[in-house]
Amino acid sequence: MSVSLPSSQLLQNAIDTLSIDNLLESGQTIQLRRMEVAVDLIKPEPLSDEYRAHRPYAVREGGIPPRRPSALGPPGNLVLSCSIDKEPIGDGRSSLVYEVQNEILSDPNVSVPPLVLKIARNNMYFNIDFALEKWFYDEMESIQGVAIPRCYGLFKVGLSEDLASDVRPWKLPQATIRLEEQSVLDSNYSNDHDDIRMIKGEEDYLYVMVLERLGGMLPVGEPISEEDRNDVKGLYEDLGPFCVCLHWQVRHENILHAPVCPPGLAGKPSEVKKKTHNWRLVDFSSAFKQALSERQMLKLHMSWVERLLNGLPSGRLLEPF
């Protein structure tokens, strides 16, 4: 008997339902639905008249370019069933990140690359972060698999109080929100788009982002090769045409190695650098758009990236705040 192998690659908008077996301590399977975010969710940060007057060379001619049309076609309706490991492989300000395991797609002809689930900590502000981050993935669709990971969607589900208290990742110490953190969060979110107001009104909603699985971080305490230095800097050149500024997120933990192919998907060549990068950038929830020229944006990014790269060999994890 011949076994037929999957013949096509999973498209980034093909999954409609995410079914996770062991997210709840009880073992009850939980299903999340794909959530779209509005194109106008994020407005560009204005440049002051004073800035424009003093640095006319730093302002992008013609303003911010419109979003590039998506190359993905109509969204699909596949179900991805999976489970997650016991321990997260990463965590950050807003999330815990787990390797996807035992993945089964409702269409056996489509192959699934190695994936992670980025699970929001239990606070609606981080759900807002996830919506904002998804907007940047949509905005930068053409550099997914080039300079940023492929994003297979944002998914959410509303939970009863009982189920919410049973979400395994939310019980971890890293997921707990401290009181002082809560008050900073309360003062930080001024976006009043309808979608953001909706999220603010949700209680006990679980948000999960599905991303291509990447590798480890840059080495600390040893020299970084010239090739890796140039490659990492090149990632920020790819952001230039989108007027996207990462500012606070130029951090050691937000630069990860590209997937190893196979089992990961091959990287696509950068239009700007005309080469395939060995590294990828993650974490866009505090990114912003600003009508800066590509040269000025690169100058800003390089001022942080150079400091980071220069500090790593001697073990200094320089952070922008």
Ligand X SMILES: Nc1ncnc2c1ncn2[C@@H]1O[C@H](COP(=O)(O)OP(=O)(O)O)[C@@H](O)[C@H]1O
- Choose the binding region for Mg ion from 15-23, 159-167, 248-256, 288-296 (rule: CB under 5 A): 248-256
Q: What angle do CA 137, 142, 143 make, to 5 degrees?
A: 75
Give the closest residue to 77 by CA, choosing from 14, 32, 151, 154: 14
Residue closer to ligand X, measured from CB, 154 or 292: 154
* Shortest distance (Å) from residue 155 CB to Mg ion: 20
| Token couple for 265 | 């998907």
* Exposure letters 59-73 (e unless 16+ CB within 10 A, then b): bbeeeeeeeeeeeee
Of 285 and 290, the one with the shorter C-beta distance to ligand X is 285
Tell me whether strands 110-111 and 8-9 are parallel, antiparallel or unpaired: parallel
Which residue, 88 or 92, has its beta carbon nearer to Mg ion?
92
CB of 214 to ligand X, least distance (A): 4
Between CA 199 and CA 62 the distance in angstroms is 34
Q: Which tokens sit at 279? A: 């590294």
- The Cβ of residue 278 has, within 10 Å, a number of other Cβ atoms equal to 16
256 lies in the site for ligand X, by CB under 6 A? yes
Comparison of 149 and 267: residue with beta carbon closer to ligand X: 149
Figure out which of the listed residues 283, 305, 308, 312 binds Mg ion, where binding follows CB under 5 A: 283
Give the DSSP letter of residue 46: P
Q: Which is nearer to ligand X, 181 or 253 (CB)?
A: 253
Quick count: other Cβ atoms within 10 Å of Cβ 200? Answer: 14
What x-and-dash track marks residues 49-88 binding ligand X by CB under 6 A? ----------------------------------------
Q: Which stretch binds Mg ion (CB under 5 A): 51-59, 159-167, 257-265, 280-288?
A: 280-288
Contact with Mg ion (CB under 5 A) among 13, 22, 88, 92: 92
Interaction residues for ligand X, span 199-228 (CB under 6 A):
211-214
Binding partner selected for residue 116 from ligand X, Mg ion, none, CB under the kind-specific 5 to 8 Å limit: ligand X
Region 292-321 residues binding ligand X, contact defined as CB under 6 A: none
Residue pair 129/252 in contact by the 8 Å Cβ criterion? no
Interaction between residue 282 and ligand X (CB under 6 A): yes
**Alpha carbons 114 and 212: distance in angstroms, whole number:** 6
Q: Tell me which stretch binds Mg ion (CB under 5 A): 71-79, 92-100, 108-116, 182-190.
A: 92-100
Q: Which one among 11, 89, 224, 298 touches ligand X, defined by CB under 6 A?
A: 89
Q: Which amino acid is at 216?
A: G
DSSP states of 14-45 as a string?
-EEEEEESSSBTT---EEEEE----TTSS-PB
Q: Which residue is nearest to ligand X (CB)?
A: 92
163 near 30, Cβ under 8 Å? Answer: yes
13, 60, 283, 291: which one binds ligand X (CB under 6 A): 283
Answer yes or no whether residue 127 interacts with ligand X by CB under 6 A: no
Phi, psi of 296 (to 5 degrees): -70, -40
* Total site size for ligand X, rule CB under 6 A: 21
3-state secondary structure of 300: helix
Helix 226-239 with 294-311: angle, nearest 10 deg: 150
Residues making contact with ligand X (CB under 6 A): 89-95, 97, 116, 118, 149, 211-214, 253-254, 256, 282-283, 285
Binding site for Mg ion (CB under 5 A): 92, 254, 283
